[in-house]
Amino acid sequence: MKNEQFNKPDLKDARKRSKIESIVSEFHYNNLISNIGENKKYIIQTHGCQANEADTEKIKGLLESQGFTPALDETEADLIIINTCAIRANAENKVFGEIGRFKRLKMKKPDLVIAIGGCMPQEEVVVEKLLKTYRQVDIIFGTHNLHKLLDYLAIVMIEKRRVVEVLSFEGDLVENVPTVRDNRYKAWVNIMYGCDEFCTYCIVPYTRGKERSRKPEHILEEIQSLVNDGYQEITLLGQNVNSYGLDFTSRAYRFSDLLKDVSALNIPRIRFTTSHPKDFSLALIEALAKGKNLMPFIHLPVQSGSNRILKMMNRKYTKESYIELINTIRNLIPGVSITTDIIVGFPSETEAEFQETMDLVRTCQFEGAYTFVFSKRTGTPAALMEDLTPTEEKKDRLYRLNDLINEGFLRGNERFLDTNVKVLVEGPSKSNKDFLCGYTEHNKLVNFRGNPENIGTIIDLHITEAKTWSLKGEVLHE
């Protein structure tokens, strides 16, 4: 295609931060585009974290507003979108593999539109690679301009021009983008976008831009409408929810205030992710302890148990202050379940420092963790640090850590054996079609025999068996 619309990202620009409070604008349709999706089918692949899952629901909302309908498989699709993740090299390699695979589909069906969005296009190295090697891609868009996807589709489908539009600056907070939610009982609610932490290994502050908090009235309005639609559970989303509100210049309203206000709404279950240990205030712990509908489950990434490595990571807390925080949380919220994220093999991490991480895991009694081998991200400070540990050694650390983490998973499940729990019933169990499954308040997966009519409701179960990855239960009363 000739006459490309062209705007490439720049990681250096993405690093810049302004102190200005974000402007809010309303999503509006471009009247020149109508029903471009009529008789057209789409498929969308989502990689990465909940932020991307929430974005995908908006992409679906935009597409379906113009008549696109979901395709059953790729061969049937007129439009393929990949919502990408840039967090680790293997996440990116998977996406490049997929785009390569779609080339054959495009050869058979030249009108097929392929769009790549999400975090990967926010990196200039990725855009260059896409432009050089993956000519089958028609649209490259980023995280800051998702709401303009319909305009880009019109350019490709009507004007037959290729679009590369990735912005390094955040722009306005756009409210009321149409949304098609994947689940009728559980919903994601974005409370803020971006991240200002700049942990030295992490690409997210570059791909998602500066921290921008949505106004409380918009968040509460969205949740109220979910309540009206019968939703049972919401998860408040942000890269670091504890920083919520720090960017407001016109009011003093923080995450603990938001939790109190959300908790007053008639929603049975409230969760949030992710918290950074550095801003986890006493006010927040106290708010959590008070709200009956605030679930006793906290994901609190620690990353490492070595103070030298934590410093190199720019995490702004120590092993000791993290342990103290865990103790305070456990004292004020008895029975709370705590999980974490850990990176092994950060540049220059020694075996002794890795053992400090193992010790920290034992001390903190985590009931689960996402564990990773450090992955070098071009443009981040850690990518320039000397890294001499052999890959085999790093993998060995990961395996040893995972064995320890799995013991914690099992212990966390075993403490519910012979107790009664409340479960939000989600649907058929993935492991056995005769069973239903759902999650407890502490976020434990339970499989049980039950009535499918209960799907979408919260019921009482008695736990009869505890395994590493799940519990088994029996219905108490229907």
Site residues for ligand SF4 per CB under 6 A: 195, 197-199, 202, 204-205, 239-240, 276
Residues 87 to 146: which contact ligand F3S by CB under 6 A?
87, 118-119
Two tokens, residue 264:
């007053």
Return the one option of ligand F3S, ligand SF4, ligand SAH, none that residue 112 interacts with (CB less than 5 to 8 A, by type): none
Two tokens, residue 93:
């390699």
Residues 71 to 100: which contact ligand SAH by CB under 6 A?
87-88
Return the one option of ligand SAH, ligand SF4, ligand F3S, none that residue 375 interacts with (CB less than 5 to 8 A, by type): ligand SAH
Nearer to ligand SAH, 261 or 387 (CB): 387
Nearer to ligand SAH, 332 or 383 (CB): 383
Which of 40, 208, 214, 397 contacts ligand F3S by CB under 6 A? 208
Min dist CB 85 to ligand F3S, Å, is: 3
Longest dimension (CA), the chain: 67
Return the one option of ligand SAH, ligand SF4, ligand F3S, none that residue 88 interacts with (CB less than 5 to 8 A, by type): ligand SAH
Residue 212 identity: R
Residue 343 binds ligand SAH, judged by CB under 6 A: yes
Return the one option of ligand SF4, ligand F3S, ligand SAH, none that residue 205 interacts with (CB less than 5 to 8 A, by type): ligand SF4
Q: Which residue lies nearest ligand SAH, judged by its C-beta?
A: 341
Which sign does the torsion angle of CA 419, 423, 425, 426 carry? negative
- Among 292, 378, 363, 377, CA closest to 330: 363
Alpha helices in 118-215 (DSSP H): 124-133, 149-157, 204-208
Contact present, 276 and 288 (Cβ < 8 Å): no
CA distance 438 to 446: 6
Alpha helices in 173-281 (DSSP H): 204-208, 216-228, 255-263
Q: What phi and psi values does residue 233 have, to the nearest 5 degrees?
A: -145, 135
Residues 146 to 205: which contact ligand SAH by CB under 6 A?
201-202, 204
Nearer to ligand SF4, 236 or 421 (CB): 236
Which of 48, 121, 194, 268 contacts ligand F3S by CB under 6 A? 48
Nearer to ligand F3S, 313 or 425 (CB): 313
45: left (phi over 0), alpha (psi -120 to 50) or beta: beta
Site string for ligand SAH, 364-383 (x = CB under 6 A): --------x-xx-x------
SS (H, E, C) 8-73: CCCHHHHHCCCCCCCCEEECCCCCCCCCCCCCCEEEEEECCCHHHHHHHHHHHHHHHHCCCEECCC
Which of 207, 235, 243, 256 contacts ligand F3S by CB under 6 A? 207
CA distance 14 to 286: 36
- What does the chain come to in residues? 478
Give contact residues for ligand F3S (rule: CB under 6 A): 48-49, 51-52, 85-87, 118-119, 203-204, 207-208
